Amino acid sequence: MKMLEVKNLKVNYNQVIAVKKVDLYVDKGETVALLGANGAGKSSTLLAIAGISNKASGEVLFSGKNISKLVPEKILSLGIATIPENRDIFPDLTVKENLILGGYIHRKNSKIVKQTMTSIYELFSILYERKNQIAGTLSGGEQQMLAIGRALMSTPKMLLLDEPSLGLAPTLIEKIYEHIEKLKQNTDLTILLVEQHAIKALSIADRVYFLRLGEIVLSGKAIDIKDKIDFKKIYFGD
C-alpha cells in the first residue's frame, strides 16, 4: 500500500530550479532512500513534502489524501515528522524541553508523552543522561539523536530524515545508522531517507531513487542496485 506518493513535483527558488520533476512513492513500512550529489534537489524535495517550501508545485499524497497545500503543522499532525538537514535542534533549550516540544501534539495526553519519552530514553540512553543539559552543548552525534528523538515524540507514521550522516565522524555515522536500523526493526515506521552517503543508505534502504539536477535518473530495489551501479556516472553525469 502506498503511504506517500509524490507526483510531478517541481520546486523553484526565484529563478533557480531546484527540483525539475520528481515522481516517487513510499509503501507502508518501507525505508526508501533518496540519493544524489550536493545540490541534486534532495532536501528541496523533502522540505516540499513537509510543507515548508511554498514555491513547490505538483501533488503530494499521504494515505491517498492530497497534502501539497497544507501548512507544516498540519502535515505533522497527519503523521509525517521531519528531521531536517543540520538537525535544527533548539540550542538554547534543554534536551528534555526539546523532546517536550516534539510531543506538542500530544500535550493534552501526558501519558503518551511520558511513555514515548521513556522509550526514546531507552533507545538513546545518552539523552537520558543529558536530559537537563542545554541542547546546544551536545556533540554532533548526540544532537542527531536528539533530533530523531524529538521527531519520534509525535509518534509519527512516517519519518522524513535528511542527511543524518552530515558532519559526523565515521564511527558516529555507524552508530546513528545502527539506531535507525533498530528503529526500522522495532517499529512499523515508514522512512524516507535523504543521503549523500550512498553506500550507508543502500545498506538500510529497501528501495532507492537517484536524483541528479532535480530529476530522478535511476530507481529500484536496493539489493539489485547495490553492486551494479556506476556511482560516478550517477553523481557526475557522462
Partner 1 sequence: MILQFIFDVLSLGSLYALFALGLVLIFGILKLVNFAYGELVLVFGYSMFLLGDTPVPWFFMTLIAILMSVLISISTDYIAFRPVREKSITAVLITSFAFATILQNAALLLISPRPKNVPMPSFFSDSIQFLGVITPVRNIISIIVTFICLFIFYQFMKRSHIGLAMRAAATNFNMTRMLGIPANLVITSAFAISGLLAGIGATLWMSKLANVFPGIGLEPLLIAFIATVIGGMRSVQGAVFGGFILAFIDIGFNYLLPQDILKFRDAFTFTFVILILLIRPQGLIGGPATGIRT
Identify the three-state secondary structure at position 205: coil
Least distance in Å: CB of 71 to partner 1?
7
125-154 mask for partner 1 (x: CB under 8 A)? -----------x-------------x---x
DSSP letters spanning 4-36: EEEEEEEEEETTEEEEEEEEEEEETT-EEEEE-
Q: How far apart are CA 41 and CA 211, in angstroms?
A: 7
Span near partner 1 by CB under 8 A; candidates 68-76, 169-177, 214-222, 227-235: 68-76
167 touches partner 1 by CB under 8 A: no
**CA dist., res. 227 & res. 53, Å (int):** 35
Identity of residue 2: K
- Set of cell numbers at residue 121: 530514553
Q: Which of 32, 40, 105, 161 binds partner 1 (CB under 8 A)?
A: 105
Pick from 2, 55, 107, 182 the residue near partner 1 by CB under 8 A.
107
- Minimum distance from CB of 90 to partner 1 (Å)? 5
Q: CA 178, CA 234: separation in Å to the nearest integer?
A: 27
Residues numbered 28 to 67 that lie near partner 1 (CB under 8 A) are 50, 52, 54
In the complex with partner 1, the residue whose CB is nearer, 84 or 164, is 84
Kindly report the number of other CB atoms within 10 A of residue 126's CB atom. Answer: 15
Candidates 36, 41, 102, 214: give the one binding partner 1 (CB under 8 A). Answer: 102
Q: How far apart are CA 120 and CA 99, in angstroms?
A: 9
Question: Out of 13, 39, 57, 104, which residue is the one contacting partner 1 (CB under 8 A)?
Answer: 104
* Interface positions, 180-209, toward partner 1 (CB under 8 A): none
**Does position 85 bind partner 1 by CB under 8 A?**
no
| 149, three cell numbers | 528523538
Q: How many residues does the chain have?
A: 238
Could you say whether residue 166 binds partner 1 (CB under 8 A)?
Answer: no
In sequence order, the 6+-apart residues with CB closer than 8 A to the CB of 52 are 72
Residues lying near partner 1 in the complex (CB under 8 A): 50, 52, 54, 71-73, 76-77, 81-82, 84, 88, 90-93, 97, 100-102, 104-105, 107, 136, 150, 154
